[in-house]
């Protein structure tokens, strides 16, 4: 609909790129010898319409762009579906593919009251400082931490809160962002150490514990299988700081071949 009105639609443009990379089967009699090279130029040209903070020729954070692009997809979907802005939107196909539900829970050490809050995100932001493997960083992500001088709304006292974040519900596609930059008093430094990861990642150990029954071995086996991810793409940043550098990526094709994508 947006394209027919000569308005920019990020979903339409991405669909064109995907169809060029993975063209549908054609009849030999209608098959053209002309080959079109997939390009994201149309998205680059209209990047300011995705968000005003992005401009051609200026380096920005790739994760911020990805989150903004997913939001723009949803905006385009609402226009396609003619959903009035006054009505609450149901989860879109974009939400169903990328949204992860996190559970933030804590227990007051004075009255033992338990706090629970569910949060939705499209990306896991993982601290890697002092960690050399993804599984160790994920274990740290779900570890319990003590928060001092927390005012409990139940007993109205300043107490120590035992808090943790766990993954409540997974998405078909899991995006993990390494926090490569750490802030100090007067600067933002990049963490340059190597972080290892395997091609397969089992996320079961980082899920909310009450989703599984420890004594039900068959359920644990099924859960372990459902929570297994295979590496599809890696985006790298080369450069020593936030204000300079270059992004490139590795992408695994449907034929299980890896390609370097670098402009």
Q: Look at residue 192 and tell me if it is in a domain.
A: no
User: Angle at the Cα of 42 (from 5 to 256), degrees rounded to 5?
Assistant: 120
Beta strand 200-202 pairing with 176-179 = unpaired
Count CB atoms within 10 A of the CB of residue 136: 14
Domain presence at residue 232: no
Alpha-carbon span 106 to 115, nearest angstrom: 5
Domain encompassing residue 28: 1-98
Assigned domain for 121 exists: no
Domain count across the chain:
1
121 phi/psi in degrees, rounded to 5 = -145, 160
Query: Per the domain annotation, does 72 fall within a domain?
Result: yes
Any domain includes 44: yes
> In this structure, is residue 216 part of a structural domain?
no
β-strands 200-202, 233-238: how paired? unpaired
pLDDT at 211: 45
Per-residue pLDDT of the chain (263 residues), as tens digits, is: 555 566 889 999 999 888 888 777 765 555 555 667 778 888 888 999 999 888 888 888 889 999 999 999 998 887 766 656 555 667 889 999 999 999 999 888 889 888 899 999 999 999 999 999 999 999 999 998 888 898 888 999 898 888 899 999 999 999 999 998 888 778 888 888 999 999 999 999 999 864 444 445 445 545 556 789 999 999 999 988 777 888 999 999 878 899 998 87
Q: How far from 152 is each of 95, 107, 117, 161, 214, CA to CA, in Å?
A: 33, 9, 15, 8, 31
Structure-token pair, residue 64: 């911020």
Within-domain flag for 56: yes
> Does residue 34 sit within a domain?
yes
Angle between helices 10-21 and 62-80 (to 10 degrees): 110
The values of phi and psi at residue 55, to 5°, are -135, 145
Tell me how crowded residue 52 is: count the other CB atoms within 10 A of its CB.
8
Dist CA 122 CA 128 (whole Å): 19
């Amino acid at each position: 609909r947006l394209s027919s009105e000569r308005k920019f639609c990020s979903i339409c443009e991405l669909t064109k790129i995907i169809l060029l990379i993975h063209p549908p089967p054609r009849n030999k009699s209608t098959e053209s010898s002309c080959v079109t090279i997939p390009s994201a130029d149309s998205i680059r040209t209209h990047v300011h319409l995705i968000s005003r903070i992005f401009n051609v020729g200026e380096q920005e954070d790739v994760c911020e762009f990805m989150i903004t692009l997913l939001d723009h997809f949803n905006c385009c979907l609402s226009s396609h579906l003619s959903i009035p802005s006054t009505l609450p939107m149901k989860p879109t196909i974009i939400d169903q593919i990328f949204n992860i539900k996190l559970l933030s829970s804590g227990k007051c050490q004075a009255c033992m009251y338990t706090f629970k809050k569910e949060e939705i995100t499209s990306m896991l932001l993982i601290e890697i400082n002092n960690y050399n493997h993804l599984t160790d960083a994920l274990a740290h992500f779900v570890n319990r931490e003590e928060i001092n001088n927390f005012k409990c709304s139940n007993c109205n006292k300043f107490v120590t809160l035992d808090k943790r974040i766990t993954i409540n519900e997974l998405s078909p596609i899991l995006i993990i962002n390494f926090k490569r930059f750490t802030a100090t008093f007067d600067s933002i430094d990049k963490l340059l150490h190597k972080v290892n990861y395997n091609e397969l990642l089992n996320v079961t150990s980082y899920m909310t514990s009450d989703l599984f029954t420890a004594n039900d071995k068959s359920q644990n086996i099924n859960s372990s299988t459902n929570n297994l991810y295979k590496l599809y793409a890696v985006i790298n940043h080369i450069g020593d700081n936030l204000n300079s550098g270059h992004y490139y990526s590795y992408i695994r094709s449907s034929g299980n071949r890896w390609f370097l994508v670098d402009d």
